[in-house]
Amino acid sequence: MLPMSVGVFAQDQDLQTAYRYVAPKVIEWRRDIHQHPELSNREFKTAEKIANHLKALGIEVQTGVAHTGVVGLLKGSQAGKVVALRADIDALPVIERNELPFRSEVTSEFLGEKVGVMHACGHDTHTAILMGVAEVLAQNKDKIKGTVKFIFQPAEEGPPPGEEGGALLMIREGVLKNPDVEAIFGLHINSQTPVGVIRYKSGSTMAAAQSFTINVKGKQSHGSQPWSGVDPILISAKIIDGLQTIISREANLTKEAAVITVGKIKSGVRFNIIPESAEMIGTIRTLDYGMKDLINRRMMEMVPAIAKAYGGEASIEIKDATDITFNDPELVSLMIPTLKRVAGDENIQTQKAITGAEDFSYFQREVPGFFFFLGGMTPGNEESFPHHTPDFRIDEAGLMLGVKALTELSLDYLNKS
């Protein structure tokens, strides 16, 4: 049973002083991490920076968790429950396109290609925010009834092919054990939510993400004589068209949203040759387990059947990437008063579920969790760029609300009776 809701740190002067002291540090950490981004499972320098910071605060530190993850353990002055806070630390293979003085100019290798590296999803802000929370709480151990576990997670964007990583590997390695975590909180900065605003949804809030690979086999022939072969590119087009009818004609979209997207097609080498094969890769997004099962089953049935109808063959493989991000309704109800106290009633807003995905969902499968969205857009700014794009940027004025929210969610959860 979760404890009853009581706001116990509304006007704590020690916390207010700590917030003012740590605010410029959070900005400095964020800019440094932003300027030196690292791809999934390669966050070596980022992990070192985090570990050094936590050790300097007197926090017990474990490194090398799920390759490059860092876990800190802060025990309060009194015995009690264990709450976890999570931040993701990896960047994306994106070339940054702006004039920020701390923009990334880092390059690396991804899938065999040279790529730019950029914090194009805001994980640099999440890391800096949680480093700030760690400092505030370490200075206020006397207010902690229980234990806070800081989880700095690598590879939220997915480990490289052939590797394991992310939340699943951290869980497998025992990150929620010793001591056993009883609730977990996380946040995500949002470039299209105004600074000062926090948005959330109880229950299903972000989609389960799956990847799929379809291999089509035809018969090669001269491009001028298509009747002498079987065209895998034509079959691929028919398969794509067919898959979209699952969404438009079979999925009950009045219940929850669902998406099937083909993101890449690879086939052929020359303009006048019908190739022998084609490969497609893509993603499936679902917010309901029943709809997920239906879509998966129909894809498995439809792909080989369409290929056969046009004289070819096709196979499909579907892999899970993340589960549904599910905010525990009881935990959400318990902690909303804390967020309203920190941000103001008018700045705590509900939202609809979104088809983006988060592997924070795997932590929520194990323990009650609450994942919410933090405003990072300059209020009134009409030019806000989406996440995962070269122009993505965040207004740093929103970061301290994240520090305050995670700090006081932890304290209130642990200290409520």
Q: Print pLDDT tens along the chain (417 aa).
A: 444 444 555 568 999 999 999 999 999 999 999 999 999 999 999 999 999 999 999 999 999 999 999 999 999 999 999 999 999 999 999 999 999 999 999 999 998 999 999 999 999 999 999 999 999 999 999 999 999 999 999 999 999 989 999 999 999 999 999 999 999 999 999 999 999 999 999 999 999 999 999 999 999 999 999 999 999 999 999 999 999 999 999 999 999 999 999 999 999 999 999 999 999 999 999 999 999 999 999 999 999 999 999 999 999 999 999 999 999 999 999 999 999 999 999 999 999 999 999 999 999 999 999 999 999 999 888 778 999 999 999 999 999 999 999 999 999 999 985
Q: Could you identify the residue written with the tokens 């109808």?
A: 309
> Three-state SS for 52?
helix
Give exposure, 248-266, as e/b (b: 16+ Cβ within 10 Å): eeebeeeebbbbbebeebe
Q: Show which residues are catalytic.
A: 90, 156
CATH fold of 13-205+324-415: Aminopeptidase (3.40.630)
Alpha-carbon separation of residue 35 from 28, 40, 175, 387 (angstroms): 11, 16, 29, 17
Q: Which residues contact 112 (CB under 8 A, 6 or more apart)?
A: none
pTM, 2 dp: 0.91
CATH fold of 208-321: Alpha-Beta Plaits (3.30.70)
Question: Do 376 and 224 contact (CB within 8 A), yes or no?
Answer: no
Q: Which of 99, 101, 117, 109 is nearest to 46 (CA)?
A: 117
Domain segments of the chain: what residues?
13-205+324-415, 208-321
